[in-house]
Chains A and B, each alone.
Chain A
Amino acid sequence: MRRLLPFVFAMSLPLLASAADVPSYTLILKDHRYQPSELRIPADTRVRLELVNHDPSPEEFESDDFPAEKIVMPNSRTSLLIGPLKRGHYRFYGDFHQPTAQGTLVVE
């Protein structure tokens, strides 16, 4: 087991590093609208999305165009990893307030 430990660490290092090094982008929800409503991120890159909810109600950040599904509690923040995505426009929305909570991810 002790001989295995360095090996296990070496194997998990890329995983830990990938989480820490990825570029981070912030998406703010206020009055059930996303700011910015058009978020630009680089193509072919894994990015961390910081979700900040300033509303007094929970919201679920979701997309049908790229894998993402995360609940953000009232007046709190969380984050998730998305991508790497190809160039293009990807729609995302707040599942609990779809009439207003809409936005686009511009991957370039």
Chain B
Amino acid sequence: MGAVALLVFREVLEAALIVSVVAAATRGVLRRGWFIGGGIALGAFGAVLVALSADLLASAFSGAGQELFNAVVLLAAVLMIGWHVLWMSSHGRELSRQMRELGSAVHSGASSLGLLLAVVALAVLREGSEVVLFLYGMRAGGASHLWTGLAIGTAAGAALGFALYAGLLRIPMRHFFGVTNAMLVLLAAGLASTAARYLIQADLLPAWGNQLWDSSWLLGNGSVPGQTAHILVGYDAQPAGMQLVFYGLTLLALWLGTRFAGRQPSTGGAVDGRAAAHPVG
């Protein structure tokens, strides 16, 4: 049971951290609970489908199907998070001003909520499919206390996710979306770096320097703190050069994008950096 709980915990933790950051980033948006819940449900459904087609996936693209699938899922999440970050950089100030004035949920208009639902779904799908395969194997092996282990692992992983979410909510409103946006950017960069790692493993990309450094002595990839840092900021104890390229390019693209989007006239308060009284369109 302990082994089951531990593995489930690790997989759930990864998904829960992503869901928490997304949940915080959509704070104050009407009906976001439905979107996040829907994303999780959709992801869980997808996880079962992926696990069922794991045989097919394993043999696809002369054995590289698994790596390609993971990389595509990760890069899709990067694109969606990126789009949301750009959208927020031109609408975020309005959103936080409205929330301070009204003190309640606002309608986010043409927000990118649907994209973040997809991000939640993809995160749950990727980690969930491993849990499904694992449980299937354990069941075939006649392991006992499977469901107890599953319940404990899920509860523990979700609890850490909630803790992160509760911590984020304590950030003062004037800095809130700045922080969550920065977290989304780091999250996206980390996911891009992980995608590169899969593509290198399948020999679809050159490594451009294997193991540029090794900081395992400080923070190991396998430890829970290392795993948390891996999801939140893309930490890798032994990164390849190509991973840094993916990480850096994502940061650069989003930085340039937000600067450009922030200059659009629709932001109102972009010039002096303060929330301006600007009618919401």
Q: Tell me the A residues contacting B by CB distance below 8 Å.
A: 15, 18-19, 46, 56-60, 64-74, 76, 78-86, 95-99
Contacts and interface: CB of A to CB of B under 8 A. Distances in A.
A84 B203 CA distance: 13
B200 interface: yes
A69 B10 CA distance: 15
A64 B222 contact: yes
Interface in B18-58: 54-55, 58
A58 B222 CA distance: 21
B1 to A, nearest CB: 12
Nearest to B197: A67
B144 to A, nearest CB: 14
14 contacts: A57-B138, A59-B137, A60-B133, A60-B134, A64-B216, A67-B197, A71-B130, A76-B58, A81-B200, A81-B201, A85-B210, A95-B7, A96-B133, A97-B137
Interface of B: 3, 7, 54-55, 58, 63, 66-67, 130, 133-134, 136-138, 140-141, 197-198, 200-203, 206, 210-211, 216, 220-222, 237-238, 240
A71 B222 CA distance: 17
A27 to B, nearest CB: 15
A11 B258 CA distance: 35
A86 B133 CA distance: 33
B202 A80 contact: yes
A73 B55 contact: yes
Contacts, number: 84
Contacts of A84: 210
A54 to B, nearest CB: 13
A21 B255 CA distance: 41
B220 A70 contact: no
A81 B134 CA distance: 23
A57 B138 CA distance: 7
A65 B7 contact: no
A68 B211 CA distance: 12
B124 to A, nearest CB: 17
B133 to A, nearest CB: 5
Given A71-B130, A79-B63, A58 B54 contact: yes
Most buried by A among B134, B203, B221: B203
A64 B198 CA distance: 15
Contact of B211 (A18, A59, A86, A98): A86
Contacts of B67: 70, 80
Given A79-B63, A81-B200, 11 more contacts: A57-B138, A58-B133, A64-B220, A64-B221, A67-B200, A70-B67, A71-B130, A80-B67, A80-B202, A81-B201, A86-B211
Contacts of A99: 3
A68 B3 CA distance: 21
A101 to B, nearest CB: 11
Nearest to A86: B211
